[in-house]
Amino acid sequence: MVQATRRRLTAALVLLWALPAGAQRLVLVSFDGLGAETFFEDPVAAELTVLKAAAQRGAASLGVQPAFPSTTANSHAALWTGCYGDVNGISANSPPVLPRAEHAATERGNGFRAEQLAAETFWVAAARAGITAVAHQPTQGYPFTRFNSAPGAVVVNGYQTRLLAPHALWTPAAGRRMPDGSYLFEHGPATFRVVIRKGSVRISHTASGRTVEAGFAPAEKDPPRHRALARHFSPPLPVDAPAPAALYFRLFELGKESFRLYVTPWHELGSSVPLEGIFREAGGFIGNGPTALLDKGLLTAPEYLEAMELVIRQLTRHAAWLEKRFRPRLMQSYLPFPDEIDHMWLPAARAGDPQAQAWRRWGYIAVDRGAQEFSRLAGKGDYLLWVSDHGMAPVSKFVSVPAALRRSGLDGKAVYLYHSILVNTADWKQGVVPLPERAAVVEQARRALAAVPGITAFFTPDQDGPLYGIGGPAGGDLYFDFAPGHGPAGRAQAEVIAEGPARGMHGFLPTRRDMQAILVMTGPRIAAGSTLPQIRIIDIAPMIAQLLGFPAPPTFRGRPPVLPSVVRTDSASARPAAPARAAAARR
């Protein structure tokens, strides 16, 4: 009883010390795929100097439990809403489509979009309490709904809007040669003219007449430790219709009658408020890196990494523009890295391949440069939170769950949902399994999958729902994990298990060390060099509410961690806690 009272008193004191001053702000930046194992144990994390320094100045959690499956869309949704997919409706990257009576169990939606989001995000809760907020490139940020948008909250998203043209590599063979020796290229709904010049090419948007010059420079040989990011890209070329954007070009090769010219994608940039001047003043939005061009052999690894640098440069420029324009008290932003590079190079780098290690290190140096820019968004008296959504693990053996279900006579009765199966019960459109028989089909599926090498532990919403937030209207009926080195097959294959080129994967049991995410935070009342215990990703949203002093909505299911705090001596200053009090706070 005494210990429980002491814990409650400690939590109350920490909350009192953490209540914000009138103008105090909070900035949160999410790095896709940056796991706790990598951050604490992988040598490449030495390049993350900004985050490492933040951990020394503030606090770092030993690990953050993501959603299950530990994938991007649903883990970020849990981060934003303080609850898992059983409550917020985002159960996977591609969740089943609701309502069940109108959709088949095999139909899949886009978990990165907001149509199925069913719980309020922390920036909406803050805005309702009068705290101005900017949400920059959040998952589930588009289309705009009452759960992701509110007066006082600016929401900007270009990942889930229209993609008018993808990453492209232009060569003379891919264009149409004109009588004057120029080349015409279609990029989505627009036409561009390319003219070869001495040492450069001139690119013109035929509809508007706007022109930029892309000068030739060999691909970079070294990472951007001291040089400018993406320094050899052209200036932005504005386009207006059907959606405003700004495109960039990189001339990787140039001959008398030949060239290799990379062009960035054309995304529509969605915003809940007008953003007049963003493309003119901050440049274009890129989105993700050109992994498809790299996979096809159209770009080399250094060329891909230069394009990655451009993504980071432009995301940080947009974040800075939004912060300057709106001066929010709550600011959220995002980078799609290191997820992309670790999908490609983590296994080979961990196996000792020096080239993969070099490419991966280059990527992490670029991420650190992005972190330097993001850190400028927070002032000395503000809270700055560095977070992520999941970790990454190397996989070389791929298990086809649909093939295992088919061989066990469950085809049509149970369908595969990432790291889980969904029973095709009668409440789904054209469902074939009567509801009273659900448990029997779950058990049959468990026995079938338990016989597959590489599939290990099993979990059900009834038994494990509170721990992992699994189940719910859009959740599975039986979840499972894989042995190290094993993962789900992403493509159809006849055999149940097949070996293939190793790649980084995630989605596994969120309590696994290699799946856990990060939380590093600094602030005026956070004790320097302190360590937080392992927390859940749903604990971060209520912690933000606590730090900024706004009411947590009832859908916040997480519990804010007790922060290792210094004692406030008055409203304007703070000093480190005395040893006795610090020791009591740790008990």
Tell me the pLDDT tens digit for each residue of 132-161: 999 999 999 999 999 999 999 999 999 999
**Global pTM value:** 0.92
pLDDT surpasses 50 at 16: no
> Between the CA of residue 414 and those of 104, 255, 423, 478, 541, what are the distances in Å?
12, 57, 4, 10, 35
Residue 10's pLDDT is what?
36
Average pLDDT, integer, range 391-419:
96
pLDDT at residue 360 above 80?
A: yes
DSSP string, 379-403: -TTSEEEEEES---EEEEEEE-HHH
State the Cα angle at 89 between 88 and 92, rounded to 5°: 115
The full 3-state SS of 481-519, as one line of letters, equals EECCEEEECCCCCCCCEEEEEEEEECCCCCCCHHHCECE
pLDDT value of residue 12: 32
Dist CA 296 CA 96 (whole Å): 31
Rg (CA), the chain: 25
Question: How far is the C-alpha of 118 from the C-alpha of 478, rounded, in Å?
Answer: 22
The tens digit of pLDDT for each residue in 55-78 reads 999 999 999 999 999 999 999 999
What pLDDT is attached to residue 143?
98
pLDDT of residue 516: 98
The per-type count for the chain, helices as H runs and strands as E runs, is 16, 32
Rounded to the nearest integer, the mean pLDDT of the chain is 92
How many angstroms separate the Cα of 112 from the Cα of each of 91, 115, 143, 188? 11, 9, 10, 23
User: Would you list the domain boundaries of the chain?
Assistant: 162-268+275-328, 396-505
- pLDDT band of residue 291 (cuts 50, 70, 90) is very high
pLDDT confidence band for 493 (50 / 70 / 90) = confident
Confidence bin at 210 (pLDDT 50/70/90) = very high
pLDDT exceeds cutoff 80 at 513: yes
CATH number, domain 396-505, options 3.40.50.10470, 3.30.1360.150, 3.30.1510.10, 3.30.499.10: 3.30.1360.150
Task: Calculate mean pLDDT across residues 422-442.
Answer: 98
Confidence of residue 2 (pLDDT cuts 50, 70, 90): very low
Cβ burial of 505 (10 Å; 0-12, 13-18, 19+) is buried
Averaged pLDDT for residues 118-129:
98
Query: What is the pLDDT, as a whole number, of residue 572?
Result: 34
Per-residue pLDDT for 95 more than 50? yes
Q: Would you state the pLDDT for residue 6? A: 35
Give me the residues paired with residue 204 across strands: 193, 211
Please report the pLDDT score of residue 492 as a whole number.
76
- What per-residue confidence (pLDDT) applies to 577? 32
Cα distance between residue 23 and residue 329, in whole Å: 7
Q: Look up residue 5 and give its DSSP letter.
A: H
Q: What is the spatial distance between Cα 587 and Cα 577, in angstroms, rounded to a whole number?
A: 15
Give the E-state strand segments of 81-182 in sequence order: 133-136, 153-157, 163-165, 168-170, 176-177
Provide mean pLDDT across the span 431-458.
97
In this predicted structure, the answer to whether residue 585 has a pLDDT above a threshold of 90 is no
pLDDT of 376 strictly over 50: yes
Average pLDDT over residues 38-59: 98
Tell me: pLDDT of 504 over 90. yes
Task: Mention every residue, 6+ apart, whose C-beta is less than 8 A from residue 235.
Answer: 212, 213, 248
On the question of pLDDT at 584 being above 70, the answer is: no
22: pLDDT strictly greater than 70: no
Collect all residues with Cβ–Cβ distance below 8 Å to 52 and sequence separation of at least 6.
Answer: 45, 46
Q: Which pLDDT belongs to residue 566?
A: 62
Predicted confidence band of residue 579 (pLDDT cuts 50, 70, 90): very low
| Residues 528-574: tens digit of each pLDDT | 999 999 999 999 999 999 999 999 999 999 999 988 876 433 333 33
pLDDT-above-90 percentage for the chain: 90
User: Residues of the chain with pLDDT > 70: what percent?
Assistant: 92
Confidence (pLDDT) at 24: 87
**What pLDDT was estimated at residue 23?**
56
End-to-end CA distance of the chain: 14
> Which of these, 318, 296, 300, lies nearest to 308 by C-alpha position?
300
What's the whole-number mean pLDDT along residues 102-125?
A: 98
Mean pLDDT on 100-116:
98
Distance CA 114, CA 173 (A): 40
For residues 566 and 580, which has the higher predicted lDDT (pLDDT)? Answer: 566
Q: Say whether pLDDT at 11 is over 70.
A: no
pLDDT-derived band of residue 282, with 50, 70 and 90 as boundaries? very high
